[in-house]
Amino acid sequence: MTASDNTISRKLLDWYDRHARDLPWRAMPGEPAPDPYRVWLSEIMLQQTTVAAVKPYFAKFTATWPGVEDLAGADESDVMAAWAGLGYYSRARNLVKAAKVVSGLGGFPVTESELRKLPGVGDYTAAAITAIAFGKRAVVVDANVERVVARLSAIEEPLPKARKAIREQADAITPDERAGDFAQAMMDLGSQVCTAKKPQCLLCPLAQDCAARTLEPERFPVKPLKKAKPVRQGQAFWIERDATVWLVRREGTGMLGGMRALPDDGWSARADGHGRPPLPGHWDEAGSVSHTFTHFALELSVRTYLGSTEPVGEGEWWPLARLDDAGLPTLFAKAARRALAD
């Protein structure tokens, strides 16, 4: 690390000592390192998700499963239900798998290479656990850090090719001491000050070291043009009788795998949305809901049926009064609200 790089890390750590966010999974500056379980759980939850959205889920998970041994012994369906609404449901399935591995090992691995072997743990998460939970030097680069570093060095190369240069610059300014605090300081700076839009450069402790400040900070990191997402069509079926609704369990693999849901026409495996309803008879149209997935957008028509006929296939009659406890993923929660409103 050069003298300039050392100055950057010192300035940032001084700022962090005064402005660190108080988060339920974090140890504040000067406190002992947090439990690796809490660090791992929070980092998995925070992937593609905001801090505000994660807080209540983290509280619920740690109250229900206080340690990794508890989570390892949990029923996957209970974990999936508790996860409902956070999205990217493969993360929840990998949580249970990884917890079982950690339980079998007798504790979390303490090196990045061993952590990366856990289901659902990639380069970023392994580095974050290594630095934050174990205090070892690791180069931690999430979207916030990526933005800070791209602006500090005014990296003109567009993403994703720029990530190699960004990582090299992040490595150059990462100190040997207080690795966890430095990683979290970079995250806080990116989320609180060096924001994607309208960065608060006057409040930034690294303003004098930032090459993008006199250019156009919001332009960095340079991003490629977005491609329009394809739109799929589908149908969801609301079957109601005696103040209950028919719910099915989706297959364990694939989109929203293992989750309770309304029956549908197989939109996740087909793009035409012309599957048949699960029951013959009169169906009412309740409108439609929209939802955006990583690689496509979905327009889901909601059709309702009121009657006493038993649906074909496996499922369960779920009391409408307890529908919130079913753990429906966001898409089907939207569809359920649409049906109930109709």
Q: What is the pLDDT of residues 189-206, one digit of tens each?
A: 999 999 999 999 999 999
| Paired strand residues for 170 | none
| Paired strand residues for 292 | 297
Catalytic residue numbers? Answer: 43
| Paired strand residues for 235 | 301
The residue that leads in pLDDT, 266 or 57, is 57
Q: Which of 269, 249, 268 is nearest to 258 (CA)?
A: 249
pLDDT given for residue 237 in this prediction? 94
- State mean pLDDT over 104-129: 97
- State mean pLDDT over 225-251: 91
Question: Structure pTM?
Answer: 0.79
State the Cα–Cα distance between residues 150 and 8, nearest whole angstrom. 14
Residue-range domains of the chain with CATH: 3-219 (1.10.340.30), 231-341 (3.90.79.10)
State the Cα–Cα distance between residues 191 and 204, nearest whole angstrom. 12
State the Cα–Cα distance between residues 293 and 303, nearest whole angstrom. 22
For 167-184, the pLDDT digits (tens) are 999 999 999 999 999 999
